[in-house]
Amino acid sequence: MAGVQCLSEYLFLLVCLELELPDVLSLRRVCRSFNRATRAKLLWINLLELAVARDGHVLPLYLKPRDLLDGRALEALIVRVTQLARKWQKQDLCPVDVWRMDVHRSITWRLVAGNWLFVASSDHEVSKISCWDLSLVFQGYTEPIAEAYLPGQVGTAQLEVQDTGIVLALGLSNPSSASVHIITLQQHLGSHCFAELSHIEGSSDVLMLQGKYIACAVRDDAVVPHVIDWVAKTTYALPPPPVGGFDTPERRCTPHLFVIWNDFVVIVRHKILDIYTRPSESCKPLYIKSLPTIPISEVVVLNPLALSREFPLRLLVISAQTVQLITVDLDLQPNDSIAPCSHTVLAETPSTSSRSPWYHLRTSGSGTRALWLGVGSMVNPRTIDAPHIISMAVPPQPSEYLAPLIIWTNDVPPDAGIWAFPTLDFDEALGYTVVGNCFGELAIYSHVPSDPLACCGLAPDFTHRQSSPGRMLSFEPIPLRMRPSPDYDLAEVDPETASEFVAHWGNEHLRLDPHIWQTDWCPEAYYDWYHWLGLIGDNAWLLRHAYHFPGPVTPQAHGRYHGMGDKHIVLRVGQQHLLYSDTEELSDKLQSLPLGPLNLGTAERQPCIQSTAYTVARVFFWTYFTRISKRRNP
């Protein structure tokens, strides 16, 4: 034992660096000296650096400087990321722990820094924003640490951790107006609260938040992409492309997303990337060019914090039956021309049915992992299974080989309702996945044995703001009049509420042939009226999510246009007129018309921008009625 006590700390460190992690932990049981030595901070700092350099382990994106972390937190971090890496190697990510909560309202949310869980929820009366500290949730404290009421329903949201703290850009809508509110979570008088940093009236559909810039797709009910400096409250309009401008089928709807990349603003659309110069105080954005690309149904940006000249722009997309990587590189020649984008297939769905694509693509943090949902059976491609979660490691460089997929289901009963219009997010470094659904059910899954220390104290406290606190958000409910949120009974809309919805239909008094078109919306005249109420999963919902036409849908007239057998309906969304058909063919359902006086003869076929929205709705209703049937006929 004397020899053990005489072993220098330096030599002991070198020995431990050659051992596997379980062996290092086993040394604690040898003697008191080894027990004390294996808890030294220097040991775990070196093991952490080795885990990253040699083993390529993914660390939390927002990690404190290592000299500010104590040995206990470092040890918990390394143990957790090592356990998670082993599960990835075994291709087994089934959760081992789950925490469940119920917020009683439909959910949208975002997880950040492995520590904060933000939930936006609403029903027909109020809209709320809530925040949980996950290190407290894992210890049994499930109450939110901060809550506030909002003056509208959250339709879109973006989140970024900035030098001054956590910043959220919320696109709010209510029956009378739309606006963007920039808020933060901060400490005030010893407790956490939400405060407003800025707000912009008239803009909506937030599709980007990077530093002091946000990008929105809608302004004053018109689809007009623009960038806003939310600190200075300066709006930069993006000029229309020279050919067709914004009044073309591809550009009449909102794009998938914006991203600022180097000196450029990139707008990602269904089949086009529109490239602009980056705005500044002295220079307005200028249109450069448009690049054709593969059809994109869903898209996320990889490594958003590493968008510089040293890195190409990398987009992970769902396109038809595949997950693909689109790479847009920058030619560093003096002319700074943009090279054509390339794409690589990373994964292919086993399902042969185009009606069952993958959907809900997500990435997180470092962009080294991706997650999405699937419903096609992995055993028999011609059958449909319950939704399951699929994970994949994103290769750092394009490869000719398909990436291996890891499939996990909710093996911890009961499930978290991933079939019920879910929202998803995950922390790929610490191994947490969060699922929320339209019924207000919230589940936090851990893929390795839970250890509250693995989250506690790893990230800086972003709620300490150096600047003065902003205006506090309301602690009292703000009454709103919104469409009902779904419940497990799926109760029909009562006649009084329905009459309020349809009272303003057909109010444009369009000059249409009365022999073809009717404006009577009673059930006897148009028995499909309930499909256009804007309830989750109905036709109005699909216009927003599948065709990207935001805002309330107002039917104007219905009839059988041009003597065709299919019923048609003239719609207005914002300033845009649409012609919808009840045909079975997805590609022929919708036509859009140029802005200006209505002329149905100028209608053009409108592409389905996000066909995966049909899958989301179909999975919900198929699963719901299957469960109801089993409940009634056990």
Q: In the chain, what are the domain boundaries? A: 2-90, 97-472, 495-632
Give the per-residue pLDDT at 300. Answer: 95
- Position 449 scores a pLDDT of 85
Q: Which ranges of the chain have pLDDT less than 70?
A: 1-7, 304-310, 330-339, 351-356, 376-385, 400, 409-415, 452-456, 465-469, 489-495, 497, 562-565, 584, 586-587, 628-634
Under CATH, which number does the domain 97-472 receive?
Answer: 2.130.10.10
* The predicted structure's pLDDT at residue 414: 54
- Helix or strand or coil: residue 453? helix
CA 185 to chain CA centroid, Å, is 20
CA–CA dist 480, 527 (Å, integer): 29
Q: What's the chain's Rg over C-alpha atoms?
A: 26
Asked if 138 and 453 count as a contact pair (C-beta separation under 8 A), the reply is: no
State the distance between the two ends of the chain, measured CA to CA, in whole angstroms.
68
The CATH number of the domain covering residues in 2-90: 1.20.1280
Q: Which residues contact 337 (CB under 8 A, 6 or more apart)?
A: 331
Query: Tokens for 580?
Result: 């919808």
DSSP state of 382: T
pLDDT of residue 252: 96
Peptide bond into 285 cis (omega under 30): no
Question: How many angstroms separate the Cα of 17 from the Cα of each of 37, 69, 419, 493?
Answer: 13, 20, 46, 65
Q: What dihedral do alpha carbons 344, 349, 355, 361 form, nearest 10°?
A: -60
Given this model, what pLDDT does residue 351 score? 61
Amino acid present at 461: D
Per-residue pLDDT at 403 = 79
Residue type, 634: P
Q: What is the model's pTM? A: 0.91
- Nearest CA to 405 among 365, 364, 345? 345
Q: How far apart, in whole angstroms, are the C-alpha atoms of residue 41 and residue 73?
A: 9
